[in-house]
Structure 1
């Protein structure tokens, strides 16, 4: 079955309403500030409309009394990452790729032990079809920077897990002309080509950026492929010295996204005398294995500076998405370890969604004597309508995981029963924040009120959720002359949960206390941070340990731990980044699981990455980079019956500026990178019946030409 998406025409009335709403704020109090100047600071790379994730302002994230990790575009390029999952491998407090290396259509990760189901792109949520699979997945080709903010952020963003959030900052138009053309090849018959070009339209007030990518490769698992096409144009219109309008669009077509199947631990983690599996083993069927996704996003940003102290930003995005998959699954009772026989169940999902989000931010600076107030007032709104047709085709018997026959299903003989789920989500939030500076002391306080409405109409069984909530954050940071900045913060979060199949759930609520210290040397060659945190979450929703297709709500879960991260520019040629995370997570209130540790949470994790640059001699223009990442053992299932083994992986990347060979190659660079260098076998598990192999060794050679 082929799926085509019909993109609805942009609603002109909606656009007009969104623009008009920017004038609803009282601006007379700001207009009479005589300190206005025509001098506008040029912010390179990110542009005037950039706001950091931690505060939704242009203030430095280092001034925020909570943990934050920033990955810039150069780091992403050095590591040849292909997804957000891969980009987060070296971030402290993050456990990534929970479904192994072969399942690439999702960004499956948690922060400080709590799953993150929704990421952000340029400050706006990537809307997710609740209970299903459909969500946009941004390719790194369009990302300038990734900001990982630790702890609750509901005070600024509304519905949010307490572990933290990830915001991908989009590449923006630049006035200086630059074009990057890249081609790559590697393991898995990788073929990739991309272009990223930016500049100014003549002497006009318009600047552009155009990004395009095509990629195709074999999947890690037999009979699977991964294919992607991306187009992402954007235009900046400098209406005046104080007004910028950015128009942006992102289109992605994934005709093939690999596979979405798990395997039993027997023959993988556990030895089985009857045989074994390997990372390429496919438990599905090549005649019933489809995963197609297509989505389109279009939006704008309006940034207006009333004067040197006050500005207004409106950020809007429209989204239309579709997904179709044909797949199989199995249950624990359907596997016989003594024979290797596995009973599979064939199914399909046909999913679609349409949504939009808008965020209005008014920020300003007010001086009261020697006290500086950085104020933020905001209103945001999002709406999503979607549906999924789930079709159950029943049992498929006769498959053996130790001698897999992936050509068993006759699709013409399948007969299924379809179930329709209609999903609606609507959320409106009002927030305010004051970041106060008194000499070296920084105080922050903010509050937010949210109104959430959600519904699931599953095959005629309607479940509705209406939730109101107030979230807040307070914190303090003091900048010592030594470069150390101790901080403390307390923040709350909430996650409204739309019910399904006639069952409703209470909203998930959480609170975090974090104490830590940040450090930056006077010459900026050394930066570091250390923090201890304690997160308590109530009404946590998790997969039912007795039926992975259903959910259960727990009483209370506690996550407490330590995060360390540091960067050191050892010499002008050598730098190093290290981090360590300790997490003690436990279900503290529940009739059946009290005292247990949730899955996908290692007690210990650590990583190291280092770059060495050669500026002299025959190897001038060479960069040698490498890293190690360790992930400790994790629980295999909700009942904690066994452990998933720990693992250590090595990665390497070597870059070379080709003008060292010939001046005619000025602007050209070559890069050879390898992940999981020693092809170490590692795993992740939901339970003993559903495990995944980690990503195998991958090697990539790329050539980039900049002009």
Structure 2
């Protein structure tokens, strides 16, 4: 408590202190104790609460949606920090079918990390920092730290994607400092909606999806159901991708003030393409043997298993205590399994064409619990309107990994034979039998206050984190236990002309449950950000502009050791990310929408005890530029046609953490079109044709972790669809 008061005192000259804070000593799950938690929050409020005063400028809605940047229903433009929102219209407009394709046109995000043939991880960098810890409907998706098991969410089950840039630990605990991505699930609705869709296209794509929602008769129950089946060939030779997904959800409106949502998400991925790499020599560096083909696979079709099964089950309880106070409990249980057979490169021979390989197998499983209890309320103290948030969240994960490895035949990359391994005779030696446990308890407080045209935000969070990785074969036992206090503060001024400048400061922390190349445990990594920006909205809402400059300093960052293997890491002193971001959209006429995103970033190792100091980090292009135009024909022979065109520029990125060689830049074009068949005949009302083309000019481009581990970007793909709504 003394630490919290000391932190709060640092911001006292800038922000109104939160009053009558309370900190429950235990985390309650049983529903009979929810009312006790609510009553405690009400009792801790100011006397103004008893007046039951409605405060219009800052509104908390009585549903289960919470803004990612505030954990309240406040609008993103009222938040003094960078956030982008991609709603269902934006996702449909770009025909996005994965999280990566959805984020391609967002500022600050680089989705080109492991190429077009690797889709088994939702992996990207935000403001130059790698992020594998994604959120779905406000709770973390399971990720088995340091391994391969990640619970993915198919975009067909997502209503909206929110990108919160900058440190987010004050609300979410242990997180990378670049930001986070939260995918908002499709939710039940009393309004009836039904749609079926069939798609086909490049790589023998076959896909069918179903979406339905509505009310059960005249009852207090409504539902949502999303289902998908997809199968296609991978971009790389001999590999396939396959998925089945179903996501039902039911709302029970018990009273006008109380809503219970029960939700389920199940996904089975029997095949997930490839995960192997290629050397830069033959991709974009000189190779005496010529250029490697874009569909080259350096693995073996008999040793290329990626079988994942994920089940997520959860509930939400939302209770409006009165017009000003609301309590939300959000809970999810996740169970997941992952079996992988794969090969990796052990080096390229002197002939620059023969890759030496090893075969490995991982059998991974994990289950996790996550719960977030949030009490939000509006309180007036004199001329100040406070939007208060108090919460307790808890996460727990237990996982296991069995890892084994063996030799594998080498492969000629310019004349590959992908049928050399016999699964029945492939020899493997056990190399690891791991038990991994992770637990986090967090208590957080936030006040977003309005004083006239001023919006002030301050937040504090205390976390108790513990993690342990035990290995049975060799007897290693790596533990990490940390407590951390994170703070966040920002101020914004709303001018009457729609211009709102702001500044903010935010902190993050990130435990690292692993050891360096010398067997020493990693220390906790911490970061801080300074950001200044401006948000602009016209009165009509037809034009918006967000711009920000930022600096993030992250300490104790693991990175690839110079002249070492791909998994030999050291913990460097500090990585610094500086940059500028711009996001703008305008609708000059009713049927034309234009959007632009620009990112400049300078991400380098600013302090290190090795020769990597001063060098750029990998996977952080110096510039990212994207533009999108959407035009709908409303009259004439093309009425009912909507046409979209996008352009993306991915700047140069460092090839390695040492040296000056770069991964080349690339300029890519995307197209999307849809046609309402109801324009031809009333009998076809609700039917629509769709066509999308990614990388229209079939640009050959790349992404790399180092010179020995690179991937081809996504080649040109064409997808056609027909859908029917009823």
Q: In which range does the TM-score fall when normalised by the shorter chain? A: over 0.9
Asked whether the 8 Å contact 1:227–1:255 carries over to 2, the reply is yes
**Structure 1 stretch displaced more, 413-422 or 242-251:** 413-422
**What are the within-5 Å matches in structure 2 for residues 362-373 of structure 1?**
362-373=375-386
Are the structure 2 counterparts of residues 86 and 431 from structure 1 closer, same or farther at C-alpha, using a change threshold of 3 Å? Answer: same
TM-score by length of 1: 0.95
Describe the SS at the equivalent of 2:535: strand
Equivalents in 2 of 1:159, 1:229: separation in Å?
31
Contact 1:22 1:360 in 2 (8 A): no
The answer to whether the Cα contact below 8 Å between 2:85 and 2:161 also exists between their aligned partners in 1 is yes
After TM superposition, give the deviation of residue 21 of structure 1 in Å.
4.7
- Tell me how far 1:453 sits from its aligned partner: 0.3
Secondary structure in 1 matching 2:145:
coil
Aligned partner of 2:499 in structure 1 is: 484
Question: What does the per-residue CA deviation read over 1:535-592, in whole Å, with 9 as the maximum and x for residues that have no partner?
Answer: 1110012234412123221101111110011001011111100011110112111011
Q: CA deviation at 1:411?
A: 2.1
Deviation at 1:524, TM superposition (A): 1.1
After superposition, residues 107-146 of structure 1 pair within 5 angstroms as: 107-146=122-161
Asked if 1:549 is matched to 2:567, the reply is: yes
Change (3 A) 1:634 1:337: farther
Of 644, 648, 659 in structure 2, the residue corresponding to residue 629 of structure 1 is: 648
| Pair 1:423-2:436 in alignment | yes
Gaps of 5+ in 1: 1-13
Does residue 400 in structure 1 map to residue 417 in structure 2?
no
Distance of aligned partners of 1:114 and 1:16 in 2 relative to their CA distance in 1, 3 Å threshold: closer
In 2, the alpha carbon distance for the partners of 1:115 and 1:42 equals: 34
Closer, same or farther: CA 36–23 of 1 in aligned 2, 3 Å? farther
1:527 matched to 2:544: yes
- 1:336 aligns with one of 349, 355, 378: 349
Give the whole-Å Cα distance in 2 for the aligned partners of 1:117 and 1:372. 37
2:71 is aligned to: 56
Distance 1:17 1:122, change over 3 A: same
The 1-side partners of 2:577 and 2:624 are apart by 15
Alignment-derived partner of residue 569 in structure 1:
587
The answer as to 2:612 corresponding to 1:600 is no
Residue in structure 2 matching 1:683, options 665, 690, 702 = 702
1:540 and 2:557 equivalent?
yes
What SS is found at the alignment partner of 1:20?
helix
- For the pair 1:380 / 2:385, whether they are aligned, the reply is no
CA contact (8 A) 1:636 1:644 kept: yes
Matched-pair contact (CA < 8 Å) for 1:33–1:307: no
Partner Cα distance (2:626, 2:232) in 1: 28
TM-score by length of 2: 0.92
Q: CA deviation at 1:421?
A: 1.1
- Name which of 362, 366, 378 aligns with 1:349: 362
* Mapped pair 1:499 → 2:499: no
Q: 1:674, 1:699 within 8 Å by CA — same for their partners in 2?
A: yes
**Paired residues of 2:281 and 2:352 also in contact (CA < 8 A):** no
TM-fit CA distance, 1:264: 0.8
DSSP-derived class of the 2:302 partner: coil
Instruction: Report whether the alignment pairs 1:263 with 2:282.
Output: no
- Find the residue that maps to 1:330 and give its secondary structure: strand
Structure 1 residues 249 and 195: CA distance shift in structure 2, 3 A: same
Q: Which residue of 1 aligns with 2:6?
A: none
For structure 2, list consecutive stretches of 5 or more residues without a partner in the other structure: 1-26
**Contact 1:586 1:595 (C-alpha < 8 Å) held by counterparts:** yes
Q: How far apart, CA to CA, are the structure 2 residues paired with 1:101 and 1:23?
A: 51
Matches within 5 A, 1:141-290: 141-290=156-305
Residue 670 of structure 2 is aligned to residue 657 of structure 1: no
For residues 281 and 109 of structure 1, what CA distance do their matches in structure 2 show?
23
Tell me the residue number matched to 2:311: 296
**C-alpha displacement of 1:18:** 6.2
Distance in structure 2 (CA, Å) of the matches to 1:669 and 1:166: 30
Aligned to 1:6: none
Is 2:62–2:326's contact at 8 Å kept on the other side of the alignment?
Answer: no
TM superposition shift of 1:273: 2.5
Alpha-carbon distance between aligned partners in 1 of 2:397 and 2:33, rounded to the nearest angstrom: 22
Calculate the aligned-residue CA RMSD, in Å: 1.9
Preserved CA contact (<8 Å) 2:62 2:318: no
Partners of 1:474 and 1:24 in 2: CA distance: 27
| Counterpart-to-counterpart distance in 2, 1:602 and 1:139 | 27
Match of 2:16 in 1: none
- How far off its partner does 1:95 sit? 0.7
For the Cα contact (< 8 Å) 2:28–2:34, is it kept in 1?
Answer: no
Aligned to 2:690: 671
- From 85, 96, 99, the equivalent of 1:81 is 96
Matched, 1:642 2:661: yes
The DSSP-based 3-state class of the residue aligned with 2:90 is helix
Task: Tell me which moved more, 293-302 or 544-553.
Answer: 544-553
Query: For residues 433-473 of structure 1, what are the alpha-carbon distances to aligned partners after superposition, in whole Å with 9 as ceiling and x for unaligned?
Result: 00000111000000000000000012321010000000000
Q: Match for residue 509 of structure 1? A: 526
Alignment of 1:436-475 (within 5 A): 436-459=449-472, 460-475=475-490
1:499: Cα distance to partner? 2.5
Q: Could you tell me how far 1:267 is from its partner in structure 2?
A: 1.3
Distance 2:389 2:32 in 1: 19
Stretch deviating more after TM superposition (252-261 or 578-587): 578-587
Deviates more, 1:456-465 or 1:163-172: 456-465
Look up the SS of the partner of 1:23 in the other structure. Answer: helix
> What CA distance in whole angstroms lies between the structure 1 residues aligned with 2:29 and 2:166?
36
Tell me, yes or no, if the aligned pair for 2:672 and 2:692 is still in contact at 8 Å: yes
Alpha-carbon contact 2:59-2:73 (below 8 Å) kept: no
Worse-superposed segment, 51-60 or 548-557: 548-557
